[in-house]
A and B are shown apart, each in its own frame.
Chain A
Amino acid sequence: MSKTLLVTGASKGIGLETVRRFMTNAEADVSTVLMLARASDEFTSAVEELRADNPRGVTLVPYTIDLADREAIIALVGEISREHGSVDVLVNNAGYTKPVPLQQVDFADFERTMAVNLYAPFTLVQELLHHGTQFDLVVNIASTAGMNGRSGWLTYSASKAAMINMSEVMREELAIYGTRVVCISPGRTATALRRVLAPEEDPSTIMQPEHVAAVIEMLASPVGRYVDSRNLVVRQ
């Protein structure tokens, strides 16, 4: 059976590296990759680059979407379900942050953080279930910043803490389908989001997106079902 993979935040960082790994991994048996990201030149060129080197002939389908827009997600899941049927592996990777101290948090920005980091993964899972998808695997990308509060990162920390908790509930509830739900909390990873959180840091000194993607690939492999962790911490 050839599987369908859906990755959010697929234009760069962990999302893009995850797509790259599944495209070349014959054993993972992914034949269709649905890439979700906001419209950008970066996204367009990433898709072009992937298509130029696609020896397994994987079908790459890019969708531009702002994941803060719940109605757009609902409409898109309808379209995806009609065109591609069930999603076998979902990687909820897209993240947003604007790190500021409590006194400076703009509530609308807090809402956007929760919308992208928490409500979007929830809505994708719920809508896909409503359309009859019964996932093999759901990978939710949280953060070590969700395991304890970080001064100056209130909105991001809170959203990721909720993601860790939501993943535990999903894991229990989706057991009726035999779905595995894994939550990964990467530590410092050289992504665009990390540059927002820690602009002064040298990205070459920390964990790279492909390292996290390799962990996701392992989780989707046969041995992945022996990794029994409610919140898998991946850090240097």
Chain B
Amino acid sequence: MYSLLLLNGGVGARVAAGQPKQLIKVKGIPILVYSLVAADAVPEIDQIVLNYPEGWRDEVEKVVTDYAIKTPVTYVPAGTSRHESVARMLEHVTNDDVVIHESARPLVETADFARLVASEHRNVSLMLEIPFTVAPVEPESRRVTGYLERSTLRNVQLPQKFSRADLEDAHAFARREDRLFTEDATLVAVAGHDVRFVDGSDRNIKVTTPTDVRLATYLLTGGEDDWNE
């Protein structure tokens, strides 16, 4: 069985000033709800560890209650960094395997979690091919320094799953080496563990800007009508 670490603690003003960005709404529904409902329907997930920005516990708990989330939820205050948040959440995990997701990706589907859980490997991330070219550069001099073969690059998405021991070891490695990682798949890999990927979906966008909110709303409102109909 799996524990879901649902990252919900980042406080950012990029979407709605004054509110933590994860308590913003998409289609009039708190963005957190989408991930909770999708994960709640996955039988292999029997614990949700949910973090909350300081001062927002009551609101977050009310969302969980109002939407009748059946999976037991453990509430943990957010850390000051992603590393600290994950470390704090890991202390409350009851399973040997964890799934990590972030509420800022409301288009995640139950099938995404199910595909991840079904993988034979223990450390797996959803990843997506990159349909455009990225270049390595020197930002200060604005000099292009080479070429990256895009067939060997992937856009890292969430959700991801890890062996709890490997994830804990990787976070200890990052502390020892004093390195900061923005997500866990590359961290666990760099720390020396085997990490695999399964193909994600380009719908599973991360909502960070007002334009993202509008795009997510469009996608969630059945914005897939075929113009040829």
Contacts and interface: CB of A to CB of B under 8 A. Distances in A.
B68 A130 contact: yes
Interface in A111-147: 129-132
Nearest to B34: A176
Contacts of A132: 68, 70
A130 B28 CA distance: 18
A236 B119 CA distance: 55
Interface string B31-53: 00110010000000000000000
B138 interface: no
Contacts of A176: 29, 33-34, 37
A172 B67 CA distance: 15
A173 B67 CA distance: 11
B27 A172 contact: yes
A175 interface: yes
B91 interface: no
A29 B27 CA distance: 33
A131 B66 CA distance: 9
Nearest to A228: B222
Contact of A173 (B29, B70, B222): B29
B68 A129 contact: yes
B13 interface: no
Interface residues of A, number: 9
Interface majority SS (helix, strand, loop, mixed), chain A = helix
Interface string B6-42: 0000000000000000000001110001100100000
A226 interface: no
A132 B68 CA distance: 5
B221 interface: yes
A177 interface: yes
Interface residues of B, number: 13
Contacts of B34: 176
B130 interface: no
A172 B68 contact: no
A132 B64 CA distance: 12
Contacts of A175: 220, 222
A177 B40 CA distance: 11
B222 to A, nearest CB: 8
Contacts of A173: 27-29
Contact of B221 (A129, A130, A172): A172
A129 B29 CA distance: 15
Interface string A160-193: 0000000000001101110000000000000000
Contacts of B29: 173, 176
Nearest to A132: B68
A173 B66 CA distance: 13
Nearest to B27: A172
Interface string B54-83: 000000000000111010000000000000
Nearest to B66: A130
A17 to B, nearest CB: 32
Interface in B106-161: none
Contacts of A177: 37
A176 B220 CA distance: 9
A132 to B, nearest CB: 4
Contacts of B66: 130
A131 B221 contact: no
A175 B220 CA distance: 9
Nearest to A173: B29
Interface in A29-82: none
B104 to A, nearest CB: 16
A128 to B, nearest CB: 9
Interface of A: 129-132, 172-173, 175-177
Top 3 nearest A-B pairs by Cβ distance? A132-B68, A176-B37, A130-B68
Given A132-B68, A173-B27, 12 more contacts: A129-B67, A129-B68, A130-B66, A131-B68, A172-B28, A173-B28, A173-B29, A175-B220, A175-B222, A176-B29, A176-B33, A176-B37
20 contacts: A129-B67, A129-B68, A130-B66, A130-B68, A131-B68, A132-B68, A132-B70, A172-B27, A172-B28, A172-B221, A173-B27, A173-B28, A173-B29, A175-B220, A175-B222, A176-B29, A176-B33, A176-B34, A176-B37, A177-B37
